[in-house]
């Protein structure tokens, strides 16, 4: 059964708006960052990673964002272009903003953390007047990411992008991607996540992220059904709620819930799992696959990324994911 219908005759498959930053990944891992002496630079940011993933799968993609007027910003724009992503709506800041940074600490495959630099970052300075209506008019899908709602004017830029997407019939995907920094209060988080989610067709997030959105509501047992039902009263067709190791569940408007098996992986670190899952899942849905197959494709995509050192650079191709699934099915991959 098809839960979402994508518009025909659009030039682009996928456009994302939001965070563009730099990951500085520890080279010496399995230790605290105090003991890491060298770092490797990658493009980062959840919507950037997803877009890179979609591009690797062969889709036509573009990005809406803002970069610093410095070496880091230029590196990001260049990397996106080299990955086939249209950057005509990637605007350069002229106010002296910096590029957001994420230093990763990998103490063990399951004990990972991030040291963030998010003060005065360029990506949060994207303004609504800089969002191209023409670009959004020609895409099948617009993906928004929660971190872009954290501050003005990026917050307003996202709402304006939603307005354009509604007007031109794009399917809207909301990757909740909540990060505590840069938000003024938890109350703001709840208010703006809810205002945005009302307009979205597909919503993906963890149980904890949905809990945070229900700050002013009544769902004492943190019921997925209560959560999903709320959004079906608005625009949502699919609500995916992730329960960590217990797996993800896709709820649909018809009252059904959908699960997929997960695959084994030789885990290096956990970063990037959600982004590669989202890319794989959305790719499947856009191909008209069942939700179960789409979710499995997302899981395999995530396994590949968490077995690697980077996030963006490790985003797999269709062939890589297909091959990974086959090898798992043949029992060639066992968990670390």
Where does this chain bind a second copy (CB under 8 A)? 24, 27, 32-34, 36-41, 70-72, 74-75, 78, 98, 101, 103, 105, 115, 117, 119-120, 127-129, 133, 152-153, 156, 159-160, 163, 184-185, 187-188, 190-192, 194-195, 216
- What is the torsion angle, in degrees rounded to the nearest 10, for the CA atoms of residue 34, residue 37, residue 38 and residue 44? 10
31 close to 107: Cβ distance less than 8 angstroms: yes
148 close to 158: Cβ distance less than 8 angstroms: yes
Of residues 137 and 264, the one with the C-beta less far from a second copy? 137
Minimum CB separation of residue 159 from a second copy in Å reads 5
Of residues 117 and 232, the one with the C-beta less far from a second copy? 117
Minimum CB separation of residue 128 from a second copy in Å reads 5
Minimum CB separation of residue 32 from a second copy in Å reads 6
Minimum CB separation of residue 184 from a second copy in Å reads 6
120 close to 98: Cβ distance less than 8 angstroms: yes
Q: Nearest Cα to 77, choosing from 55, 96, 62, 94?
A: 62
Long-range contacts of 222-231 (CB under 8 A, 24+ apart): 224/249, 224/251, 224/257, 225/251, 231/197, 231/198, 231/200, 231/203
Of residues 156 and 292, the one with the C-beta less far from a second copy? 156
Burial of 41 (0-12, 13-18, 19+ CB in 10 A): middle
Of residues 128 and 264, the one with the C-beta less far from a second copy? 128
76 close to 99: Cβ distance less than 8 angstroms: yes
Minimum CB separation of residue 189 from a second copy in Å reads 10
CA 333, CA 56: separation in Å to the nearest integer? Answer: 23
Of residues 157 and 250, the one with the C-beta less far from a second copy? 157
Of residues 148 and 249, the one with the C-beta less far from a second copy? 148
Which residue shows structure tokens 């982004």? 275
Minimum CB separation of residue 217 from a second copy in Å reads 9
Q: Nearest Cα to 175, choosing from 59, 297, 276?
A: 276
295 close to 312: Cβ distance less than 8 angstroms: no
Minimum CB separation of residue 98 from a second copy in Å reads 6
């Amino acid at each position: 059964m098809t839960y979402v219908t994508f518009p025909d005759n659009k030039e682009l498959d996928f456009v994302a708006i939001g965070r563009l930053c730099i990951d500085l990944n520890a080279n010496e891992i399995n230790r605290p960052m105090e003991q890491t002496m060298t770092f490797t630079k990658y493009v980062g940011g959840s919507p950037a990673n997803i877009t890179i993933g979609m591009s690797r799968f062969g889709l036509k993609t573009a990005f809406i964002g803002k970069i610093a007027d410095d070496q880091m910003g230029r590196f990001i724009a260049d990397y996106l272009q080299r990955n086939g992503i249209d950057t005509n709506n990637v605007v350069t800041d002229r106010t002296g903003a910096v590029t957001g940074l994420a230093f990763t600490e990998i103490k063990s495959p399951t004990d990972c953390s991030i040291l963030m630099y998010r003060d005065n970052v360029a990506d949060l300075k994207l303004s609504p007047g800089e969002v191209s209506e023409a670009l959004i008019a020609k895409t099948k899908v617009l993906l928004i990411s929660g971190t872009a709602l954290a501050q003005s004017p990026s917050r307003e830029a996202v709402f304006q992008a939603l307005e354009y997407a509604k007007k031109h019939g794009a399917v809207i995907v909301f990757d909740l991607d909540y990060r505590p920094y840069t938000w003024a209060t938890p109350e703001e988080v709840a208010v703006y996540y809810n205002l945005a989610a009302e307009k979205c067709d597909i919503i993906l997030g963890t149980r904890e992220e949905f809990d945070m959105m229900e700050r002013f509501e009544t769902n004492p047992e943190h019921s997925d059904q209560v959560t999903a039902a709320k959004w079906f009263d608005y625009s949502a067709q699919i609500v995916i709620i992730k329960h960590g190791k217990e797996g993800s569940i896709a709820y649909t408007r018809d009252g059904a819930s959908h699960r997929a098996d997960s695959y084994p992986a030789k885990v290096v670190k956990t970063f990037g799992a959600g982004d590669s899952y989202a890319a794989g899942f959305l790719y499947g849905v856009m191909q008209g696959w069942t939700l179960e197959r789409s979710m499995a494709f997302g899981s395999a995509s995530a396994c590949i990324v968490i077995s690697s050192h980077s996030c963006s650079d490790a985003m797999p191709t269709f062939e890589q994911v297909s091959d990974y699934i086959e090898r798992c099915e043949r029992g060639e991959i066992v968990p670390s």
